[in-house]
Amino acid sequence: PKFGMCCHEGQISLPQRQDPPRHIQELFLSQEPHAREFRENIWKYNRAFSFTSLGVNEVHSVNNGRGPPVFCITGELCHWSGSLVPHNGQLPKYAQLYIYEPREALAARMQQNQDLDEQIMETLQTFLLQHHQYAPVYRHAWEILRLHPNIENHTVTLHLIPGSDRRRYNLPTCDEPAVIIPTTPFNSRRDIVLRSRDGPLHRIYDIHPAYCPLQYPLL
What's the 3-state SS for 126-146? HHHHHHCCCHHHHHHHHHHHH
Cβ–Cβ < 8 Å for 108, 90: no
What are the angstrom distances between the C-alpha of 16 and each of 13, 177, 200, 212?
9, 34, 40, 20
CA distance 139 to 80: 18
Answering whether pTM is above 0.85, one says no
Tell me the pLDDT of the chain (219 aa) as tens digits: 655 666 666 677 778 888 888 888 999 999 999 999 999 999 999 999 999 988 888 888 888 878 888 888 888 888 888 888 887 778 888 988 998 889 999 999 999 999 999 999 999 999 999 989 889 888 888 888 788 766 666 777 777 655 555 444 444 444 544 444 444 444 445 677 777 766 677 888 777 888 888 999 987
Cβ–Cβ < 8 Å for 52, 95: yes
* DSSP state for residue 90 in the 8-state scheme: S
Look at the alpha carbons of 144, 156, 52, 135 in this order and tell me if their dihedral is positive or negative: negative
* DSSP state for residue 199 in the 8-state scheme: S
Cα–Cα nearest to 55, from 83, 74, 41, 70: 74
Cβ–Cβ < 8 Å for 202, 80: yes
CA distance 125 to 103: 10
